[in-house]
Amino acid sequence: MARVFSLLLVIVLGLGLISSTNKKVQEPWTAPGWTDSLYNPYNLEPLTLPQAQEIYNLKCIKCHGTQGQGYPLEHTDQEVPNFKQDWFKAQSDGAIYWKIREGRGVMPGSKSTLSDEQLWQLVEYVRDLSKPFDQQKNPFKVVGE
């Protein structure tokens, strides 16, 4: 009996070791260098952030959260960034635009579903979410989240 238990223990521990060593480490998502030269050709207007919030609430909030905090995804190892992290804020607007446009993994690209102006509105909205709540400019931000 002790021999069977020892054998089962070795098998279980071995499977645990195999599964933990096979976990994929996500490669950093780096936009091409040329995206740093992209800039928003649209003026920031009073409705820019509210319109972007509508799009964000439809397409992004489920994974990125109301304040861009990011949620762990159960069905994938793909990380969802927290927009308030320094590495995220250090990206150029063009890099964020490119990532929203192209997508990656479970995040679908939006180049065929959103206009260029809507993509840039989302960049402005994400930049707004990256600020502390009391410094955000969106007049329709959700209080208490």
30 has pLDDT over 80: yes
19 has pLDDT over 50: no
Whether 100 maps to a domain, the answer reads yes
Whether 10 maps to a domain, the answer reads no
Residue with tokens 């489920």: 62
Locate the DSSP E strands across 52-115.
103-104, 107-108
- What is the band of 11 on the pLDDT scale with cuts at 50, 70, 90? low
| Distance (Å) of CA 134 to CA 51, 69, 85, 128 | 20, 16, 17, 11
Highest mean pLDDT among 1-5, 21-25, 91-95, 137-141: 91-95
* Identity of the amino acid at 138: N
Whether 121 maps to a domain, the answer reads yes
Share of the chain above pLDDT 70, in %: 79
CA dihedral 129, 130, 134, 136 (to 10 degrees): -50
Whether 12 maps to a domain, the answer reads no
pLDDT at 139: 84
Q: How many CA atoms lie within 13 A of 120 on its CB side?
A: 13
Whether 56 maps to a domain, the answer reads yes
**Mean pLDDT to the nearest integer, 52-69:** 93
| Count of domains observed in the chain | 1
**Mean pLDDT to the nearest integer, 8-22:** 49
Query: What tens digit of pLDDT does each residue of 112-128 get?
Result: 999 999 999 999 999 99
Whether 18 maps to a domain, the answer reads no
Q: Six-digit token pair at 86?
A: 């320094």
Whether 119 maps to a domain, the answer reads yes
Residue 104 has φ and ψ, to the nearest 5°, of -165, 135
70: left (phi over 0), alpha (psi -120 to 50) or beta: left
The parent domain of residue 121 ranges over 29-135
CATH number assigned to the domain comprising residue 60: 1.10.760.10
